Structure 1
C-alpha cells in the first residue's frame, strides 16, 4: 500500500455508520477528516475551504455524487475525488471516471482499499503534474471549441520528460497525443490506445506510466495475442502449487507483477471471450485469485490497453464484450499512421538512426537529401517499425559515413531521370519486383495475397497449422482465425491436433 501522507479529507455519505467508519479509518492514518450527509452540506464545506481528497457516495438524498464532481471540474478545484459506487455497477464507475474522478471504490468498501486509494490520490497530488484529469480524446482536443485545461508550470518528472521525448515529432497529432498523455497521467482511469501496427502504442503507454505518480512502480507489458489460450489465466492471475500437472511451485501472474504500477495489455482485441469476462471482474473488483488458490489478493494496478483492431466493430459481432469495452475505453488515445504525419519523418529517421547505432556501438552516419526524399515517397504501411527495418538494412549495406538511396536496396537506387549517372542505375527489375497496378478493391487484393502466403506455408508444413504459424511468426489462435476468415479448406487428416 502507498505510504500514508497526512491530509485533509471530506467524506460525503448519507449513512451515519459508514461515515463514522470511514472517518475513524482515515483518522488512524493521521488525516484530518470532516463529513457531510448530502450534497448540500458538502457544497457548504467546499465553499468554506479546500481539501486534498473528496470521498463521495454515488447516490445521496439530494442527488448524485457525479453532480459534485462535475461542479468541481467546472470550477477547476484541485481536490482528488474518489467515488463509492454500488457493488458491480460498472456504468457508474465508468461515468465517475469520465466525470473527473481519480478513482472509484465498490460497496461494500474494503477499508485497506480505501486507505490505499486515498494514499495513492495524495501521492498523485504531490506529483508535479497537478492538473485534474480530463476525458477528451485526441480528436476532441483539435475540435473547434474543445475544452482546455491549464497545466501546472512545473515540468513532468525526469522519467516523464524522457518518455515524452521518445515520442518523436512536432506534427499536430503528436503534439495532441503528448498533451493528452500529460492530462490523463495522474488519474486511475483506464486508457485505451488505438492505432495501426507500428505506430508506437507501447511508447504512449510507457509515457502515461512515466508521467504518473506510479512512475516508480513496475511497468508490465503483455501481448495478449502471444499467450497460448490454455495458459492465459495462469499468466494473468498466477498459479498455486499443485493447481495442475507441472505446477511445482507458486507463481505470481501479471497483475501481481504490476502491483503499484501499470499493466499494459497490448493487442487486447485478441483476448478470448472467456478471459475477457475474468479480466472485467478483476478490473472492477481490484482482486485476483490465482489458479488453484482459495483467497483473493487486492491489486493496485492501473490498466492501459492497446489494439490495432476496431473494438467498436468487434462488439456487435460478438467478438468483444461490450461491458469490458466501455470499462477499458474511459480515455481513448489514437496514434497516427506515419503517412498522416510525413513532416515528422526527418526527425524520426534521425532519432531511429541514433538509437540503432547506439545499440550497436557504431558512429551515426548522416542521411543524404536524396535518401530522405526516397523515404518520403514510400507508403510505409508498417509505419515506424517498417522505417526502422529499412534503416537497419541501409546501415548494414552502407560502406560510407552517409546513407544514400542505393543503401536501401535495388528498389531505392536512383535512375537517370532524377539526375544520376547511368553507372549508378540498377539492373532492370524482374517481373516479380514490378509493383502491381492499383487494385480496384484493396481489401480483396490484400486478402488474396494473404491467402496465397498462408497456403504456401501450410503446404510446405504438410498442413500442420502449428508449424505453419511458427513459420509466419503467428500463434496457433491467430493462424486459426486467419484460416477461418479467408475460407481456406484444410485436409481432414491434420497433424497438429488443433
Structure 2
C-alpha cells in the first residue's frame, strides 16, 4: 500500500497474516484509517518472507493457517524483536492463552471491532513514542520506577523476568510467601510497561465482603440497591487503560470467580443495576501466597479462571532464599522508615548487621521492615546497635546451625522442648515416622470441625465462629475434607 502525502509519518508497517482474503482487506483498510502502512500474508511461508525485510513494527496473525499455526508466526516475529498480537475466534480462551504463552503481546477476537483494534495499536505505538521522547531528553528519563532491592541471583532473575513481562499484555500470576514483595513486583511490571501512564489499581480480594464484591469490581447504577445514591465506577473502570492487581486472588468466592472470568473473556463489564455492558481495557496481574493449583484440585478455585490468570507465573523468593540481600535491604528500608519519622542518617552498627544476618524472618521483607521500625524507636536516634536489634527481634528464631530447632531470641534453652521423633496431635498419642503429614493434619482438622459441628448442633455459622474462621473459609474446609 502507498501512503498519501497528507498522512503523518507512520511509526512502522503492520504485517497482517490471515488465510481469509476478506479479513486481510478489512484490517488493511482499518489500519490505513489510523495512518499505518500495512502488508498482508496468507500463510506462514509468506509471513516469513515479509519478516525478512525491515520496516515492520507490529504483526497481527490468525491462529489457523494453511501451512502452520499462528504460534509459528509468533515465534518468527519475536525472533525478529517485533510485538505480535493473535487474532482468535470469539470465545476461544484456549487459543488466547496459547498465544500469550507463546510470546504474543495481546490478542483480539473476531469479529474485530475498530475501537478494539485502535486500542491495541495504541498500546504498541504510544509506549514506543514515549520511549523515543525520553531517549531524546535527559529530563524525560524516569527515576521513580519501583524495583526490588538486592543483588542476589534470585532477585536479579526476578528483575530480568519483570523487564520481559512489562513488554507484553499477558496476564501474570505472582506467587510467593507473604511479605516477599508481590505488590512491588506488580507495580514494577506496570511502571516499566506501555501502561505506565495509566492507573495502577491494587485490590485485596480477601478484604471485600462477599455481598459487595460485584458492586466493588464492576460498579453500580443509582438505585441499584439501598444506599446506591449515585452512579459509581468499580475497580475495572478505575483501572481502564492501566493495570488491575488482584491481590490474594485465592480468597475470591466461587460465585465471583464466574463473573470475573466473564469480564476477562469479554473485556466488558456490566454495572449492578445496568442493562448494557461497557468495554474495559485493563491488564490483569494476580497475586497470592497460596498454591492455586492445589485449590483448583480441591475445588476451591475454578480451573478455567486459573488458566486465564496464570498465563505467565512469576515466583517471588522468600527472604531466606536471598539472605545475602539483607544488608542492602536494611539500608533501603531504614531510609524509608527515617522519611516516615522525619529523621535522617540512622545507620546500623556492624554488630547490629551481624545480628540481622543470623535471624529468620518468616514474614520476609515485611517482617524485616517491622523489626527495623521497632529498632529505630528503641535506638538513640543516631545509630542502631546490637541491643536495639535484639530487643526489636525478640521472639524471632536465629537461623539454626544444626539439625535442631534454634531457640527464639529472648527465650532460654529450658523454654524450648527438645526435638523428638514423634508428632503429637490434639488428644492423640505419639505417631511413628515416616508420616504422611498432610493426611495427618487433615485428620486432626476433620475431628475439630466435627466436634465444633456437634457442639453447635450442626449450625455451620456458629461452628465457624468457634474455630475462628469466616463462614467462607469454613465452607471451603467442609468441601475439601468431604464433610457433609
Bucket of the pairwise TM-score, normalised by the shorter protein: 0.7 to 0.9
Deviation for aligned residue 1:220? 0.2
Deviation for aligned residue 1:373? 2.0
Cα distance in 2 between the residues matched to 1:380 and 1:436: 21
1:438-457 equivalence runs, <5 A: 438=419
Cα distance in 2 between the residues matched to 1:9 and 1:308: 41
**C-alpha deviations, 1:84-128, integer Å up to 9, x for none?**
111111111111111111110112222210111112112244464
Q: 1:379 to 1:480 in 2, by over 3 A?
A: farther
- The answer for the alignment partner of 2:306 in structure 1 is 325
1:14-413 equivalence runs, <5 A: 14-73=19-78, 76-126=79-129, 128=131, 158-159=141-142, 162-164=145-147, 167-408=148-389, 410=391
Cα distance in 1 between the residues matched to 2:291 and 2:322: 21
**C-alpha deviations, 1:118-143, integer Å up to 9, x for none?**
121122444649xxxxxxxxxxxxxx
Q: 1:296 to 1:28 in 2, by over 3 A?
A: same
Provide runs of 4+ in structure 1 moved above 3 Å. Answer: 4-7, 124-129, 157-162, 408-413, 427-431, 433-449, 463-469, 474-488
Alignment root-mean-square deviation, CA: 3.5
CA contact (8 A) 1:5 1:119 kept: no
Q: 1:429 to 1:55 in 2, by over 3 A?
A: closer
CA contact (8 A) 1:56 1:84 kept: yes
Cα distance in 2 between the residues matched to 1:58 and 1:126: 29
Cα distance in 1 between the residues matched to 2:196 and 2:463: 42
Deviation for aligned residue 1:412? 5.8
Q: 1:486 to 1:377 in 2, by over 3 A?
A: farther
Tell me the TM-score normalised to structure 1 length: 0.77
Cα distance in 1 between the residues matched to 2:277 and 2:221: 12
Bigger shift: 5-14 or 300-309? 5-14
CA contact (8 A) 1:263 1:302 kept: yes
**C-alpha deviations, 1:422-469, integer Å up to 9, x for none?**
xxxxx98689x93454575598899999x9xxx9xxxxxxx9799999
Bigger shift: 390-399 or 183-192? 390-399
Q: 1:383 to 1:480 in 2, by over 3 A?
A: farther
Cα distance in 1 between the residues matched to 2:121 and 2:146: 27
Matched residue of 2:71: which SS?
helix
Deviation for aligned residue 1:258? 0.5
Cα distance in 1 between the residues matched to 2:478 and 2:360: 27
Deviation for aligned residue 1:34? 2.1
Deviation for aligned residue 1:361? 0.2
Deviation for aligned residue 1:302? 0.6
Cα distance in 2 between the residues matched to 1:71 and 1:429: 62
Deviation for aligned residue 1:173? 0.4
Q: Specify every segment of 5 or more residues in structure 1 that has no aligned partner in the other structure, as ranges.
A: 130-151, 414-426, 456-462, 489-498
- The answer for the alignment partner of 2:458 in structure 1 is none
Bigger shift: 115-124 or 195-204? 115-124
Cα distance in 1 between the residues matched to 2:282 and 2:22: 29
Cα distance in 1 between the residues matched to 2:476 and 2:70: 45
Query: How many corresponding residue pairs?
Result: 431
Q: Specify every segment of 5 or more residues in structure 2 that has no aligned partner in the other structure, as ranges.
A: 1-8, 395-408, 424-436, 453-460
Tell me the TM-score normalised to structure 2 length: 0.80
Q: 1:123 to 1:240 in 2, by over 3 A?
A: same
Cα distance in 2 between the residues matched to 1:275 and 1:18: 36
